[in-house]
Amino acid sequence: MKRVLVLGAGMVAGPLVEYFLRRDSFEVTVADIVPERALRLTAGHPRGRSAALDIEDDARLSSLIAAGDLVVSFVPFPHHPRVAGHCLARGRNLLTASYLSADIKAMDKEAAAKGLIFFNEAGLDPGLDHMEAMRIIDRVRGEGGRVESFVSYCGGLPAPEANTNPFGYKFSWSPSGVLMSCGNAARYLRDGKEIFLPAEKYLDEPARIAIERLGDLEGYPNRDATTYLDAYGIHGAQTVLRGTLRYPGWCRTLKRMREWGLLDDRPRDASLRSYKEFASAKIGLPGAANPADVLKTRFPQEEDVRVVDRLEWLGAFADRPLPPGPRNGLEILAGLMAENMSYRPGERDLVVLRHEITSLFPGGRKETTVSTLTHYGLPEGDSAMARTVSLPAAICGRLILEGAVRQKGVVIPVRAEVYRPVLEELEGYGIRFEEKTTAFS
């Protein structure tokens, strides 16, 4: 019997734990800093166990890892290298749904020499985006073609009927993680020209992305898309862009929140006692009786007035005490968002992933393939985000434990030995892409 250790019992772990517990050949231990969360995922299962774990307790972490055959890390991104180091020391395979970090990438040779698999980017984005992209790209290559343009957008959103707050967003994963991602710079290729957008610029001009049956969403660049020239083997492509999808208005709101200092990650001033005092000080209006009115006077454009209205709705200017826990502005705003922008019982979320790939074939023929995944959460069950992150990771983990992943060392899911069985099995869960190809000369 194979033993799976899951580190972290947060918002996306459930479907993976259930996936392994439904199969008699696996035992699952879930470890979390809040033992009750781990217990909720394993209670009543004869092959399920829960454990308490502070991820910074190296002795405890090492002991748990030693007892597993596969370690699935759903802890926050900065902790993955620590987990990977213990996996190296203990000779255990590792699986994450997070972006591959430089620290883990540096472990490639040592992991390979030990016959280990450190499998990263096994979730939705990154994860399913790679798998569907490579399925199309490999088909194009097999027909003698080459990719000229690759544009991909992905987002987790409220389903239209659950889109009930002024931000057009609800959280199916960590609010802090969402806000922190808005501090990333972006790099991409457009018509052969490399474009770099610093953090203060990349939300400036979102694209309008039409999604069938949903209408127009806004998309903004995400991280460094140029790295996928290597990962996908599409050198020669003139346009390569990866981005994030949101309902209209999100980019302007997050841009202003950052410019006004509300997402500052410096320690907060302990003398500021209320949300109103905190927001006023950050914006540069200390002591303002009504900072929202002052902001609307300074920023009278309709889009900016809507941003202020959203912040008022959120409670950012409320004259009520700040909670004792948050240490900086980003944490304070994340706490307000978690309080006011969570899904209510019975509400569905939605995941949208869209690839647009233009290819050139011998004889001058061109074609554009648009492949779109739209997947809704279960009203009284798992969210779409949890399913599309956790189930691909679970299938990848099973393939690792069954010996179907031949590549050793640091791995991302761009090989057919992984993407074919994963995409095929996911169709049984209703997670499938709709593909439309248009040929032209």
For residues 359 and 379, state if they share a domain: yes
For residues 327 and 311, state if they share a domain: yes
- Is residue 421, in this structure, part of any structural domain at all? no
51: tokens are 């454990």
Q: Structural domain tally of the chain?
A: 3
Single residue among 284, 309, 340 that ends a domain in this structure: 340
What is the pLDDT at residue 287?
77
* Residue 77's pLDDT band (cuts 50, 70, 90): confident
Task: Tell me which residue of 45, 41, 6, 48 sits closest to 27, measured CA to CA.
Answer: 48
Specify the CATH number for the domain of residue 317: 1.10.1870
Q: What is the pTM of this model?
A: 0.90
Annotated catalytic residue: which of 24, 108, 125, 269? 125
Strands 366-376 and 207-211: unpaired
Contact by Cβ (8 Å): 87, 81: no
Least confident of 131-135, 236-240, 266-270, 437-441: 266-270
Single residue among 88, 119, 150 that ends a domain in this structure: 119
125 part of the active site:
yes
What is the pLDDT at residue 74?
95
- Residue 319 sits in which domain range? 253-340
Task: Tell me which residue of 161, 153, 172, 185 sits closest to 356, measured CA to CA.
Answer: 153
- Is residue 402, in this structure, part of any structural domain at all? no
Single residue among 340, 366, 399 that ends a domain in this structure: 340
Question: Taking residues 269-281, what's their average pLDDT?
Answer: 87
Share of the chain above pLDDT 90, in %: 78
For residues 228 and 356, state if they share a domain: yes
What are 50-72's pLDDT values in tens digits? 999 999 999 999 999 999 999 99
- Is residue 405, in this structure, part of any structural domain at all? no
27: tokens are 């035992």
Cα 370 to Cα 70: distance, rounded to the nearest angstrom: 35
Asked whether the predicted pLDDT for residue 183 surpasses 80, the reply is no
The angle that helices 275-283 and 329-340 make with each other, rounded to 10 degrees, is 130
What is the pLDDT at residue 30?
97
Distance of CA 350 to the CA centre of its chain: 13
For residues 274 and 186, state if they share a domain: no
- Is residue 177, in this structure, part of any structural domain at all? yes
Burial (CB count within 10 angstroms: exposed 0-12, middle 13-18, buried 19+), residue 436 = exposed
For residues 105 and 14, state if they share a domain: yes
For residues 224 and 97, state if they share a domain: no
For residues 88 and 191, state if they share a domain: no
Cα 368 to Cα 359: distance, rounded to the nearest angstrom: 6
What is the pLDDT at residue 212?
87
- Is residue 392, in this structure, part of any structural domain at all? no
Specify the CATH number for the domain of residue 361: 3.30.360.10
Cα 135 to Cα 377: distance, rounded to the nearest angstrom: 25
For residues 68 and 167, state if they share a domain: no
Task: Let me know the angle formed at the C-alpha of 283 by 279 and 285, rounded to the nearest 5 degrees.
Answer: 90
Task: Tell me which residue of 389, 390, 375 sits closest to 20, measured CA to CA.
Answer: 390
What are 304-360's pLDDT values in tens digits? 999 999 999 999 999 999 888 767 888 888 889 988 999 998 999 999 999 999 999
Q: Greatest CA span in the chain, whole angstroms?
A: 71
What is the pLDDT at residue 397?
98
* Residue 171's pLDDT band (cuts 50, 70, 90): confident
Rg over alpha carbons for the chain, rounded to the nearest Å, is 23
- Is residue 368, in this structure, part of any structural domain at all? yes
Asked whether the predicted pLDDT for residue 182 surpasses 80, the reply is no
For residues 224 and 352, state if they share a domain: yes
What is the pLDDT at residue 11?
86
For residues 113 and 231, state if they share a domain: no
Asked whether the predicted pLDDT for residue 207 surpasses 80, the reply is yes
What is the pLDDT at residue 50?
96
Specify the CATH number for the domain of residue 78: 3.40.50.720
- Is residue 364, in this structure, part of any structural domain at all? yes
- Is residue 393, in this structure, part of any structural domain at all? no
What is the pLDDT at residue 178?
78
Cα 77 to Cα 180: distance, rounded to the nearest angstrom: 11
* Residue 270's pLDDT band (cuts 50, 70, 90): confident
Q: Tokens 């899911």 correspond to what residue? A: 413
For residues 66 and 99, state if they share a domain: yes
What is the pLDDT at residue 440?
83
What are 381-398's pLDDT values in tens digits? 999 999 999 999 999 999
The beta-strand segments (E) located in 46-106 are 48-52, 70-73, 93-96
For residues 316 and 174, state if they share a domain: no
